[in-house]
A = this chain, B = another copy of it.
Amino acid sequence: MRAPLIDNLQYANFSPCIFEQMRAGGVDAVHVTIAYHETFREMVLNLERWNRWFEDHANLIFKATTGADVVRAQETGRTAIFFGFQNPSPIEDDIGLVEICHQLGIRFMQLTYNNQSLLATGCYEAEDTGLTRMGKQVVAEMNRVGMVVDMSHSAERSTLEAIEHSTRPIAITHANPHWWHAALRNKSDRVLSALTGAGGMLGFSMYPHHLAGGGACTLEGFSAMIAEAADRYGAQHLGLGSDLCQDQPNSVVEWMRVGRWSKVIDYGEGSESHAGFPPMPDWFADNRDFGNIRNGLLAQGMPAQDVDGIMGGNWQRFYDTSFGAA
A binding-site residues for B, Cβ under 8 Å: 40-41, 44-45, 47-48, 51-52, 94, 96-97, 99-100, 103-105
Q: Return A322 CB to nearest CB of chain B, in Å.
A: 20
Which B residues lie within 8 Å of A100 (CB)? 44, 47-48, 51, 104
Which B residues lie within 8 Å of A103 (CB)? 103-105
Q: Which 4 A-B residue pairs are closest in the complex by CB-CB distance?
A: A48-B96, A51-B99, A41-B41, A44-B100
Given A41-B40, A41-B41, A44-B40, CB of A52 within 8 Å of CB of B104: no
A96 touches B51 (CB 8 A): yes
Closest residue of B by beta carbon distance from A94: B48
B96 touches A45 (CB 8 A): yes
Q: Return A90 CB to nearest CB of chain B, in Å.
A: 11
Which B residues lie within 8 Å of A45 (CB)? 96
Question: In the docked arrangement, what's the CA distance between A48 and B145, Å?
Answer: 13
Closest residue of B by beta carbon distance from A45: B96
* Cβ 8 A contact of A97, one of B48, B94, B99: B48
Which B residues lie within 8 Å of A44 (CB)? 40, 97, 100
**Known interface pairs A48-B94, A48-B99; 11 further A-B residue pairs with C-beta atoms within 8 A, sorted by A's residue number:** A40-B41, A41-B41, A45-B96, A47-B100, A48-B100, A51-B99, A100-B104, A103-B103, A103-B104, A103-B105, A104-B104
Q: Return A58 CB to nearest CB of chain B, in Å.
A: 11
Question: In the docked arrangement, what's the CA distance between A48 and B41, Å?
Answer: 15
Which B residues lie within 8 Å of A94 (CB)? 48
Which B residues lie within 8 Å of A96 (CB)? 45, 48, 51-52
Q: Return A185 CB to nearest CB of chain B, in Å.
A: 32
Which B residues lie within 8 Å of A105 (CB)? 103
Question: In the docked arrangement, what's the CA distance between A45 and B45, Å?
Answer: 18
Which B residues lie within 8 Å of A99 (CB)? 48, 51
Which B residues lie within 8 Å of A52 (CB)? 96
Q: Return A188 CB to nearest CB of chain B, in Å.
A: 37
21 CB < 8 A contacts A-B: A40-B41, A40-B44, A41-B41, A44-B97, A44-B100, A45-B96, A47-B100, A48-B94, A48-B96, A48-B97, A48-B99, A48-B100, A51-B96, A51-B99, A51-B100, A52-B96, A100-B104, A103-B103, A103-B104, A103-B105, A104-B104
Q: Return A126 CB to nearest CB of chain B, in Å.
A: 34
Closest residue of B by beta carbon distance from A105: B103
Closest residue of B by beta carbon distance from A51: B99
Q: Return A46 CB to nearest CB of chain B, in Å.
A: 10
Closest residue of B by beta carbon distance from A63: B103
Q: Return A101 CB to nearest CB of chain B, in Å.
A: 10
Which B residues lie within 8 Å of A97 (CB)? 44, 48
Q: Return A104 CB to nearest CB of chain B, in Å.
A: 6
Closest residue of B by beta carbon distance from A96: B48
Closest residue of B by beta carbon distance from A95: B48
